[in-house]
A and B are shown apart, each in its own frame.
Chain A
Amino acid sequence: MSDATDLVTRARAFVGKPAATPVAARDPVNLPAIRRWCDAMGDRNPVYQDAAAARAAGFDGIVAPPAMLDVWTMSPFRPGGRASTERMQVLELFDAAGFTGVVATNVEQDYDRYLHEGDRVHCTAIVEDVSEEKRTALGVGHFVTLRYEFTDDAGDAVGRMLFRVLKFRPPLAQAATAQAAAVPKSIPHPRPAVTHDNAFFWEGIKARRLLVQCCAACGRLRHPPGPMCPQCRSLEWRTVEASGRGTIHSFVVMHQPRLPALHYPLTILLVELAEGVRVVANLLEAGAQQLQIGRAVALDFVEVEPGYLLPAFRLA
């Protein structure tokens, strides 16, 4: 029997058996954890945070986002890794055999009902399947399929999950090549030409502040940056920070030509700031079909490459 066959045989001995000790959630379903999750996902569905909106949508009170089903019973952070009762022996078998890499490849969740504040989630996991050795983009490995059942304090089912991970042997010898091939953007995002006249603007953007030039003599605001006031010709100026509120003055949707570092179709806005000047910036998180002239927008900043920020707007 080869080593690989032996490993699969030993791993398959776990099939049909509990993958780990059953878990009762340490904390009940609670609003602070829901809020943190909604913040991280950018999810503003009111049924997760606003009791009146949840009742209007047919619930008794706020409910947890369904995707949090398996969050409540996740193992807590422990320096040095998981406690022995939290580890899955079937996965440790692969670790010991050198398949130390792990990535999740599939999740299927079925929900029987939405969870509400105070629900305490219990979970059991069964090993469902262990694959033969497979050659994958990440390296040689085995797929391990786990099936979870989630219940409430009364023992009634609230949902179930199929979770598949790939345990793979990190191709260390090829890591350098893989890195070169896998870096998402080989062609960098275009950068602005920073000059004596506009450096203040880009310094402000780096600090997540949109600065507008203001003539020190007559007080007129101007943008884009320039050395002289077009009204009184003064060369003296200061800056004011824009509030970030504005409306769409115009917009264009770019389809061609396509620059490698940008995403298309690219919606570019001309925003009339509340302060009265207009700025050009991209639209975030919406399609052009949601746009109309005059629609309110709010300023945000996008880190398009590490350390390189651009101003952008989302629908307000």
Chain B
Amino acid sequence: MTFDDLRPGITLPELLIPISASQIVAGAMASHDFEDVHHDKAAAQSKGVPDIFMNILTTNGLVQRFVTDWAGPAARIRRIAIRLGAPNFAGDTMKLSGEVLQVDGAERLAQIRVSGRNGLGEHVAATVTLGWESTWPRR
């Protein structure tokens, strides 16, 4: 994928993420998030939810992975905005889909809209800004 290939409306290859309890816990630990609702089912239930659920840092990571899997290593993530809806509970599956929203030829930026849906509805709605440019700091 190069910047010049981008056109608004291009869709990204869909990605299915099985939301196992192990996936939720691995994501929480890798993002150093020790809130008990992300690894302890009894604690989650005492807070009024049926099971452990994915933390927002993992959702952020999965959305960025989904976009860069498609965009390739030359693309730089400049900005992301994420809104969470239906939680990713253990045992569900999330399907990520995405679309190029805007392309700014002068700034060499592209906005990608991402949606992740699970069995309950929309888990995540995100907008990711990618940059392809030589002026980005090398480090």
Which residues of A does B touch, CB under 8 Å?
Answer: 33, 36-37, 39-47, 53-54, 56-61, 63, 65-68, 70-71, 74-77, 100-114, 116, 138-139, 168, 170-172, 174-175, 178-179, 182-185, 263, 284-287, 289-290, 302-306
Check B57–A70 contact: CB distance below 8 A.
Answer: yes
Q: Contact partner of B136 among A58, A67, A102, A285, CB < 8 A?
A: A58
Check A74–B32 contact: CB distance below 8 A.
Answer: yes
Query: Which residues of A have CB within 8 Å of B49?
Result: 101, 138, 178, 182
Check A303–B18 contact: CB distance below 8 A.
Answer: yes
Shortest C-beta distance, A183 to chain B (Å), equals 6
Shortest C-beta distance, B60 to chain A (Å), equals 5
Shortest C-beta distance, A51 to chain B (Å), equals 13
21 A-B pairs in the complex with CB atoms less than 8 angstroms apart: A41-B58, A45-B73, A47-B73, A54-B73, A56-B73, A57-B73, A65-B65, A66-B77, A67-B61, A102-B35, A104-B56, A107-B57, A107-B81, A108-B80, A109-B79, A110-B79, A171-B48, A178-B50, A182-B49, A184-B92, A304-B93
Check A104–B79 contact: CB distance below 8 A.
Answer: no
Query: Which residues of A have CB within 8 Å of B27?
Result: 40-41
Task: Closest B residue to A61 by CB, please name it.
Answer: B139
Q: Is the interface of A mostly helix, strand, loop or mixed?
A: mixed
Number of interface residues of B (CB under 8 A): 63
Q: State the total of A-B contacts with C-beta under 8 angstroms.
A: 181
A68 to B60, CA, bound (A): 9
Q: Contact partner of A40 among B48, B61, B84, B136, CB < 8 A?
A: B61
* 10 closest residue pairs by CB, A with B: A170-B48, A74-B32, A40-B30, A184-B119, A287-B13, A104-B56, A184-B92, A43-B65, A179-B50, A40-B26
B23-54 vs A: 1/0 string, CB under 8 Å? 10011011111110100000001111110000
Q: Contact partner of A68 among B15, B21, B31, B137, CB < 8 A?
A: B31
**Given A175-B48, A289-B13, A114 and B65 contact (CB-CB distance below 8 Å):** no
Indicate if B116 sits at the interface (CB-CB under 8 A). no
Query: Which residues of B have CB within 8 Å of A47?
Result: 73
Shortest C-beta distance, B18 to chain A (Å), equals 5
Q: Contact partner of B16 among A67, A172, A284, A289, CB < 8 A?
A: A284
A68 to B78, CA, bound (A): 13
Q: Contact partner of A263 among B29, B65, B80, B93, CB < 8 A?
A: B93
